Amino acid sequence: MPRHAVVAASLSLLAAAGFSSCQTRPAEGETPAGTATGVPGEAGAKAAAPLDSAQLKAVAMRRDSLRADSIVKKSGQLPGAILPGHRIVAFYGNIRSKGMGILGREPKEQMFRKFEKVLDEWRAADPSIPVQPALHNVTITAQGTPGKDGKWRLMNSKATIEEVISWAREHKCILFLDVQPGHSTLQTELPKLEQYLKSPDIHLGIDPEFSLSTMPGVRPNQRIGTLDAKDVNFAVSFLARIVSENHLPPKVLTVHRFTRKMITNYKNIKLDPRVQIVMHMDGHGEPTLKKDSYHDYIQTEPVQYTGFKLFYEYDARPAPHHIMTPPEVLAQLNPKPLYIQYQ
């Protein structure tokens, strides 16, 4: 069996671990789906055909993209961009679940003490680049039951989202809201988060592993899901519009990946200076497997920036395997990831 196949098979165990935690966390009420508001139409000359709000918005986006491209050509990036001038280091999970990751597994203050030690390790490992702390909260989570609408996903309550926002701001972290669409789609789910993404310190993660809309009848965790370039492009355009309409610095978009089929047609992913895309290798296992996956699915299929996940519970199993240290990650991965996530 080719090495990449062995890697994919081994790392697919991640699905079982993550999904189990989805089933055991306390259920919260779903937030009704929001809708993105259109730009109001303006009255034109009598002879001109009227434009609806969607057409006007598309025209505004094209014009703004040209302006953004012009700024980038002059300065290299838009003002306020986090990457590549920082390395983002994040704790991942769900504050309502002990099973989904370090974020939520331990009492809040204990968790933040551990986080500060990790941040110091990264500062020491690479003093040449500032560390940007982040929390990464799974906010729309794939579920073990279909729910009333049959979409197999559940959104955190408003109170939970506001609480994790307060955690992040209290500790000077940026925040990622992560989406596992289940049998829904990004087109349906992302507008629910728009009110939060209007804040300059809140960013987005999308998880193809739990995107199953193209797999009718498949329960989350039975198979590894998939997103296509067109789905990533939708997320990019969605964020770019929010950046433009609210005069924000660029957003960061993390895209989880640990198999080739999780992202299809990667060459068709379109870059926009208002959105910084991180292709994030989030498989677990011993260091050789993780490095091979990073090479096969991140390095050899480049998009923009790269990320790498470390698992407290799974990377060290079985002994003598271990969690890679910051110096190991920096020495053994090329390119050096600018987004590091701990689960």
Residue 172 has pLDDT above 60, yes or no: yes
Domain-embedded: residue 50:
no
pLDDT of 62 above 50: no
The whole domain housing 180 covers 3-27+59-342
| pLDDT score, position 72 | 63
Q: What is the 3-state secondary structure (H, E, C) of 18-37?
A: HHHHHHHCCCCCCCCCCCCC
% of the chain with per-residue pLDDT over 70: 78
Q: Is residue 14 part of a domain?
A: yes
Is residue 45's pLDDT more than 70? Answer: no
Query: What pTM was computed for the model?
Result: 0.81
Residue 215 covered by a domain: yes
* Alpha-carbon distances, residue 138 vs 97, 207, 230, 295, 325 (angstroms): 10, 10, 22, 26, 25
135-152 average pLDDT score: 95
Would residue 44 count as lying in a domain?
no
Assess if residue 269 is contained within a domain.
Answer: yes
Q: Average pLDDT of 178-205?
A: 98
Mean pLDDT of 284-313: 96
Give percent of the chain above pLDDT 90.
74
Predicted pLDDT at 277? 98
Residue-level pLDDT at 77: 81
pLDDT higher at 45 or 133: 133
- Each residue of 255-276: pLDDT tens digit? 999 999 999 999 999 999 999 9
Structural domains counted in the chain = 1
Establish if 38 belongs to a structural domain: no
The mean per-residue pLDDT over the stretch 56-61 comes to 45
Q: What is the mean pLDDT of the chain?
A: 84
- Residue 64's pLDDT band, with cuts at 50, 70 and 90, is low
- Over residues 195-228, the pLDDT tens digits come to 999 999 999 999 999 999 999 989 988 999 999 9
In this predicted structure, what is the pLDDT of residue 217? Answer: 86
pLDDT at position 221, please?
87
CATH code for the domain in which residue 17 is found: 3.20.20
Which whole-number Å values give the CA distances from 258 to 91, 102, 283, in the listed order? 19, 20, 5
Asked, for residue 185, whether it belongs to a domain, the answer is yes
Judge whether residue 186 has pLDDT over 90. yes
Lowest mean pLDDT among 69-78, 99-108, 284-293: 69-78
Q: What is the pLDDT, as a whole number, of residue 199?
A: 98
Question: How far is residue 162's CA from residue 137's CA, in Å, rounded to a whole number?
Answer: 11
HEC states along the chain?
A: CCHHHHHHHHHCHHHHHHHHHHHHCCCCCCCCCCCCCCCCCCCCCCCCCCCCHHHHHHHHHHHHHHHHHHHHHHHCCCCCCCCCCCEEEEEEEECCECCCCHHHHCCHHHHHHHHHHHHHHHHHHCCCCCEEEEEEEEEEEECCCCCCCCCCEEECCHHHHHHHHHHHHHCCCEEEEEECCECCCHHHHHHHHHHHHCCCCEEEEECHHHECCCCCCCCECCECCCEEHHHHHHHHHHHHHHHHHHCCCCEEEEEEECCHHHEECHHHCCCECCEEEEEEECCCCCHHHHHHHHHHHHHCCCCCEEEEEECCCCCCCCCCCCCCCHHHHHHHCCCCCCEEEEC
The reply to whether 164 falls in a domain is: yes
**What confidence score (pLDDT) does residue 50 get?**
45
pLDDT in tens, 2-38: 334 333 333 333 333 334 333 323 334 333 333 222 2
Lowest mean pLDDT segment, chosen from 133-137, 233-237, 311-315: 311-315
